[in-house]
Amino acid sequence: MKRYVILISGRGSNMESLLDAGLPGACAAVISNRPDVAGLAAAAARGVATLVIDHRGFASREEFDAALATGIEQHAPDLVLLAGFMRILGDGFVRRFAGRLLNIHPSLLPAFPGVNTHARALAAGVKLHGCSVHFVTPALDGGPIVAQAAVPVQVADDEAILGRRVLAEEHLLYPRVARWFLDGRLRLVGDRVQLVGEKAVGGSLHVPQVD
């Protein structure tokens, strides 16, 4: 059975959606760079091993990245899922896990990389917003996109309302992509995404129905 590790920094709702999806693999560990976050308790409640590697205990990004890589490698995962993991990872780390490192980002990339995506989407006046799952490369939120889910932006939206609508789609999209990978149907070939046998749902774009 394939093994995966999830990295979190906080609430962990995407982690919960992954753990509760019945994925065809075993979650070997949930690792947080922050102690005492809600996601750690939620993982432990599901009987998943947890590990804290507090970035504040390291003098440099490289030292933190090295400790994190060691923490991950001890579980020998096939797949590493960043789920609300709020540290930028260095080039060395990203290269080490190339092709087995996925991230979920709350915007329709390449629009709005970085933080505060919902506020920036509202400020820009976009009519369509959403989330993206991508392979991680050294470019921040810039790796090859695997799948996206889109939501309409409505007139009455504020940051919180729009964020909730996007998050609901994140919780559907990320387990779906993780399942593709763990089923051996999704790979990164060079800088291209290869996905086998997903024609029935319209390629790898998922646009939910709107009332």
Residues that bind ligand GRF (CB under 6 A): 8, 10-14, 39, 83-84, 104-106, 167, 170
Nearer to ligand GRF, 128 or 196 (CB): 128
Nearer to ligand GRF, 10 or 71 (CB): 10
What minimum distance in Å lies between the beta carbon of 104 and ligand GRF?
A: 5
Task: Say whether 105 is catalytic.
Answer: yes
3-state secondary structure of 152: strand
The whole-angstrom separation of Cα 49 and Cα 191 is 32
Paired tokens of 12: 């962990």
Residue 112 half-sphere exposure toward CB, CA atoms < 13 A: 22
The whole-angstrom separation of Cα 165 and Cα 118 is 10
The whole-angstrom separation of Cα 89 and Cα 173 is 23
Of the candidates 47, 44, 39, 50, the residue with the CA atom closest to the CA atom of residue 16: 39
What minimum distance in Å lies between the beta carbon of 180 and ligand GRF?
A: 18
Nearer to ligand GRF, 17 or 64 (CB): 17
Please identify which of the residues 55, 75, 105, 171 carries the catalytic annotation.
Answer: 105
Nearest residue relative to ligand GRF (C-beta):
84
What minimum distance in Å lies between the beta carbon of 122 and ligand GRF?
A: 15
Nearer to ligand GRF, 29 or 104 (CB): 104
Of the candidates 13, 8, 20, the residue with the CA atom closest to the CA atom of residue 80: 8
Q: Are 147 and 207 in contact (CB under 8 A)?
A: no
What minimum distance in Å lies between the beta carbon of 85 and ligand GRF?
A: 7
Catalytic residues: 105
